[in-house]
Amino acid sequence: MNEKRLVNEFCKLVSIDSPSFHERKMADTLKGYLEELGFEVHEDNAGEIYKSECGNLYGYLEGTMEGEPLLFAAHMDTVDPAIGKKAVLKEDGRIESDGTTVLGADDISGIAAILEAIRSLKENNIPHRGIEVLFTIAEEPYLRGSKVFDYAKIKSKDAYVLDLSGPIGGAAHIAPSIIKLVIDIKGKASHAGFAPEKGLSAIVLASKVISKLKLGHIDEETTANIGIISGGLATNIVPESCKIQGEVRSTNHEKALEQAENIKNIFRESIKELGGNCEVDIIIGQYAYAVEENHKVIKRYEKVCKDLNIPFTLNRTFGGSDNNNLFHNGITGIVIACAMNQVHSCNEYTSVQDLMKITNIVQNLMTSKDY
C-alpha cells in the first residue's frame, strides 16, 4: 500500500466540487481511473432521470482467483457547504478542511480507499476476487442515485458500503426506514396592526400542534423530529400559510409508517378544530433492513479485521446509506466505517492512519477466500 499516493489522491478528490446532482467532474475523474485499472465501466441514466449532470458509475474487474465477486460502493456527492473544499494535512496526520466547508471525507475517504486497494493489487500482481464498484450520485438527498440503478447488472451477492463514521473496524448491519413529512397549513391573512383579530395565524396554529407531538426518541427503534418551519410574508401581516418539514426514523418499517400516520392525523384533526386547513404529504425516503449477525458478509469482514488486529464492532445505525437500496434489490451488504468523523459539518476530519487502515481492510476483503 502506498501511503503517500493514498493521501495525495484523497486530497485531490477533496478539491473536486461534487455537491449532490453536480458530480460530473468527479465522475469523469473516477471513470478515467477505473478504465486505467482495467475495469469495464458503465455510466447509467440516473442523470437523465433527475435532469442532473451525470449518472451512477458502475465498474467490473475480472477476478484472478476463485471466489464470488464482491461489490464495493461509495457515493460521489458531498453535502453543503461543498464548494471550494481544501484538504489541510496536519503534522500529526489529521486531515481537515480550512473551516469554511465540509472536508468531504463523507464519502471521499471510501472512494480513495477503494482506488488505492485496487492500485496496490494490480501493481503487485496480487490475486483477487472479481471486483465490482458502484459510485453513486445524490446519496445525500435520500439515496436518490442508488434508488434508480439497474441492479440486474450486479454480479455480487455480498456488498461492502463504505459510508459510516466511527472507529475503523465498525460496521452497521441494521438501518432504519426514513419517512419525510411535508405539512402545509392554511390560516387567514389580515393586517397585523389594524385588524389582527380578523386573521388566523398559520404559524400560531402550527406551534399549537407541534406542542402536542412527542418528538425525539419514541422508543429504542424510533425517532421523530420537526426540522424546518417556514411561513409568513411580512412582519405586518398575520401569516396565512406555514410549511413544516419533519421526519420519522425507525429500524421497524411498520413503526415508522405508524408514527408518520399518527403525526399526520394529529395535524389534520387539530388544525381543523382550530379553524384552519391542513395538507400532509408522507414521503418514504428509504426502507429499513437488518442483516443476520451470522451472515457471511459479516463473518468475512470480522475475520479480515481480526487478521489485521483491528477491533471489530457490529452496530445498528440511525442513518441511511446506499446499502438500504442494495438490500432491497437482493444484495446483502453492511456499511463499514471508512475514516470519516464529525461528518456534515465544517469540523469534519479524517487521518492518514485511518485511511491506511480502511484501505487495508478493503484490499483484504478483495483477496479473501471463501470459507
Answer yes or no: is pLDDT of 339 > 90. Answer: yes
Q: What is the mean pLDDT of the chain?
A: 96
Q: Give the pLDDT confidence score for residue 370 in this predicted structure.
A: 79
Known catalytic residue: 219?
no
Catalytic residue, from 96, 107, 116, 139: name it. Answer: 139
Question: Mean per-residue pLDDT for 122-129?
Answer: 96
Judge contact between 84 and 143, C-beta under 8 A. Answer: no
Contact present, 167 and 313 (Cβ < 8 Å): yes
Contact 276/131 with Cβ under 8 angstroms? no
Q: Which amino acid is at 276?
A: G
For 13-36, the pLDDT digits (tens) are 999 999 999 999 999 999 999 999
pLDDT in tens, 270-294: 999 999 999 999 999 999 999 999 9
Which one from 9, 23, 44, 77 is the annotated catalytic residue?
Answer: 77
Quick one: average pLDDT of 320-343?
96
This prediction has a pTM of: 0.92
Domains and CATH numbers, the chain: 3-175+289-366 (3.40.630.10), 177-286 (3.30.70.360)
Q: What is the pLDDT of residue 335?
A: 98
In the chain, pLDDT over 70 holds for what percent of residues?
A: 100
**Catalytic annotation on 40?**
no
DSSP strand E in 35-176: where?
40-43, 57-61, 70-75, 88-89, 94-96, 131-136, 158-164, 170-175
Element (H, E) at 325: helix 322-327
For residue 221, pLDDT beyond 90: yes
The reported pLDDT for the residue numbered 371 is 59
- Write out pLDDT tens, residues 69-87: 999 999 999 999 999 999 9
